[in-house]
């Protein structure tokens, strides 16, 4: 089913960054926050976590109905540390400082999983699932940089405690893979998938 102004894309996200990125594409869109518990289960691997959370987000937005939309998009982004640990959003500024200190001078993975689900008479059926990983290398962080950055509040609601599109760009030595994936949505892969489904 094609996405049109009469049958827009339903974006299941409260993230202003995802709203902005979809908006840049000129795709007609309505946003509906997917309010779920995103806490990891003890011992849960990153891939299992992402699959569980994205499906839970889809169920959450489907409660309000998807039939009137051309399709639905949900996504979740996580940071996987140098040792393979799942790095979520910081609990507070002290936690943010600890996370950034661990990321300094090493390479970590930023992984996003997104789901596309059908609207119309095939409401809620998953049409496409994909996981995209980008490798991000931080330079060694200088004394005082971590507390100064944490004090800006920029990374408080972000996995890994930083925003690549903000002041933390100065920490990044190298990005291997999709930049928009690090922001929160791999736009190239999303658009290709939508074209394959005939949505665009």
From first to last of its 200 residues, the chain has per-residue pLDDT tens of 899 999 999 999 998 999 999 999 999 999 999 889 988 888 888 899 999 999 999 999 999 899 999 999 999 999 999 888 889 889 999 999 999 999 999 999 999 999 999 998 898 899 999 999 999 999 999 989 999 999 999 999 899 999 999 999 999 999 999 999 999 999 999 999 999 999 99
Q: What's 156's DSSP letter? A: T
Q: Where are the domains of the chain?
A: 9-197
Q: Is 57 exposed, middle or buried (0-12, 13-18, 19+ CB in 10 A)?
A: buried
Q: What's 139's DSSP letter? A: P
What whole-number distance in Å separates Cα of residue 129 and Cα of residue 156? 28
**What pLDDT score was predicted for residue 39?**
87
What six digits make up the tokens of 102? 């661990």
Active site residue 76: yes
Please report the beta strands in the chain, taking only residues with DSSP state E, as ranges in sequence order.
9-11, 29-31, 71-80, 86-87, 107-118, 126-138, 172-176
Q: What's 106's DSSP letter? A: S
Q: Could you say which of 6, 37, 68, 76 is catalytic?
A: 76
**Domain 9-197 CATH class label:** alpha beta
């Amino acid at each position: 089913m094609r996405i049109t102004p009469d049958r827009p894309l339903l974006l299941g996200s409260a993230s202003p960054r995802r709203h902005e990125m979809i908006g840049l594409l000129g795709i007609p869109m309505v946003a509906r926050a997917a309010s779920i518990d995103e806490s990891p289960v003890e011992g849960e691997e990153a891939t299992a976590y992402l699959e569980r959370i994205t499906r839970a987000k889809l169920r959450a937005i489907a409660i309000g109905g998807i039939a009137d939309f051309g399709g639905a998009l949900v996504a979740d982004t996580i940071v996987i540390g140098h040792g393979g640990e799942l790095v979520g959003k910081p609990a507070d500024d002290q936690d943010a400082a600890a996370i950034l200190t661990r990321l300094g001078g090493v390479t970590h993975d930023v992984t996003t999983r997104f789901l596309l689900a059908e609207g119309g008479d095939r409401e809620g059926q998953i049409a496409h699932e994909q996981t995209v990983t980008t490798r991000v290398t931080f330079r060694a962080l200088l004394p005082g940089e971590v507390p100064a950055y944490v004090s800006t509040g920029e990374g408080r609601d972000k996995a890994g405690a930083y925003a690549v599109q903000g002041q933390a760009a100065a920490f990044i030595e190298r990005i291997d893979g999709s930049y928009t994936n690090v922001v929160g949505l791999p736009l190239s892969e999303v658009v290709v998938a939508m074209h394959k489904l005939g949505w665009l």
